[in-house]
Structure 1
Amino acid sequence: MIISRTPMRVSFAGGGSDLSVYYQQTPGIVLSTAIDRYIYITVNKMFDDKIRVSYSTTEIVDCVDDLKHNIIREALKIVGISHGVEVVYMGDIPIGNAGIGLGSSSSLAVGVLNALYAFKGMHVSAERLAREACQIEIEILGHPIGKQDQYIAAYGGINTIQFNQDESVFVDPVIFTRQTKAALQGKLMMFFTGLVRISSDILAEQKGNIRDNKTFLDKMVGLARVMRESLVANEFDRVGEILHAGWMCKRNLASTISCTSIDEDYQRAMDAGAIGGKILGAGGGGFLLFYCDEEKQASVRQALSHLKETPFNFEPQGSKIIHLSD
Structure 2
Amino acid sequence: MFVRARSPLRLGIAGGGTDISPYCDTYGGCVLNATIDMYANCTIELLKPEDGITFEAQDIEQTFHCPLQTKLPLTGELQLHKAIYNRIVRDFNHNEPLPVKVYTHSDAPPGSGLGSSSTMVVTILSAYQQLLNLPLGEYDVAKLAYEIERKDCCLSGGKQDQYATTFGGFNFMEFYDNERVIVNPLRIRQSILNELESQIILFFTGVSRSSAQIIDDQVKTTTSEDKKPLEAMHEVKNLAYSMKECLLKSNIDGMADLLRDAWNAKKSTSNAISTREIELIEDRVLSAGAKSIKISGAGGGGFMMLFVDPIRRLDVEKALKDLDGHIQPFRFTQQGTQSWTV
After TM superposition, the score normalised by the length of structure 1 is 0.95
For the residues of structure 2 that align with 1:256 and 1:290, how far apart are their CA atoms?
A: 20
Do residues 316 (structure 1) and 334 (structure 2) align? yes
**Amino acid across the alignment from 1:53:** F
Which position in structure 1 is the counterpart of 2:101?
Answer: 86
> 1:43-79: per-residue Cα shift (whole Å, max 9, x none)?
1111334110001221111234146422111211222
Alpha-carbon RMSD? 1.4
Which position in structure 1 is the counterpart of 2:313?
Answer: 297
Q: Return the match for 1:116 from 124, 128, 131.
A: 128
Q: CA deviation at 1:176?
A: 2.2
Gaps of at least 5 residues in structure 1 are: none
Which position in structure 2 is the counterpart of 1:236?
Answer: 252
Q: Return the match for 1:65 from 72, 91, 116.
A: 72
For the residues of structure 2 that align with 1:280 and 1:232, how far apart are their CA atoms?
A: 21
> 1:24-48: per-residue Cα shift (whole Å, max 9, x none)?
1111000000111000011111133
After TM superposition, the score normalised by the length of structure 2 is 0.90
Task: Report if aligned partners of 1:114, 1:124 keep a CA contact under 8 Å in 2.
Answer: no
Which position in structure 2 is the counterpart of 1:262?
Answer: 278
**Amino acid across the alignment from 1:75:** I
Task: Report if aligned partners of 1:227, 1:242 keep a CA contact under 8 Å in 2.
Answer: yes
Q: Return the match for 1:166 from 159, 162, 178.
A: 178
Find runs of 4+ consecutive structure 1 residues off by over 4 angstroms: none
> 1:85-111: per-residue Cα shift (whole Å, max 9, x none)?
111101122x34xx1111000001111
Q: CA deviation at 1:3?
A: 0.5
Gaps of at least 5 residues in structure 2 are: none
For the residues of structure 1 that align with 2:82 and 2:213, how far apart are their CA atoms?
A: 23
Q: Return the match for 1:190 from 202, 208, 217.
A: 202
Task: Report if aligned partners of 1:277, 1:289 keep a CA contact under 8 Å in 2.
Answer: yes
For the residues of structure 2 that align with 1:196 and 1:73, how far apart are their CA atoms?
A: 23
For the residues of structure 2 that align with 1:298 and 1:123, how far apart are their CA atoms?
A: 48
For the residues of structure 2 that align with 1:176 and 1:8, how far apart are their CA atoms?
A: 18
Task: Report if aligned partners of 2:33, 2:172 keep a CA contact under 8 Å in 1.
Answer: yes
Q: CA deviation at 1:206?
A: 2.3
For the residues of structure 2 that align with 1:178 and 1:237, how far apart are their CA atoms?
A: 17
Q: 1:83-162 maps to which residues of 2 (within 5 A)?
A: 83-93=98-108, 95-96=109-110, 99-162=111-174
Which position in structure 1 is the counterpart of 2:41?
Answer: 40
Task: Report if aligned partners of 2:230, 2:269 keep a CA contact under 8 Å in 1.
Answer: no
Q: Which moved more, 1:54-63 or 1:226-235?
A: 54-63
SS of the aligned residue for 2:41 comes to strand
**Amino acid across the alignment from 2:81:** I
Task: Report if aligned partners of 2:106, 2:120 keep a CA contact under 8 Å in 1.
Answer: no
Which position in structure 1 is the counterpart of 2:28?
Answer: 27
Task: Report if aligned partners of 1:187, 1:293 keep a CA contact under 8 Å in 2.
Answer: yes
Q: Return the match for 2:261 from 222, 245, 259.
A: 245
Task: Report if aligned partners of 2:29, 2:176 keep a CA contact under 8 Å in 1.
Answer: yes
Which position in structure 2 is the counterpart of 1:214?
Answer: 230
SS of the aligned residue for 2:27 comes to coil
**Amino acid across the alignment from 1:257:** I
Q: Return the match for 2:55 from 53, 56, 62.
A: 53
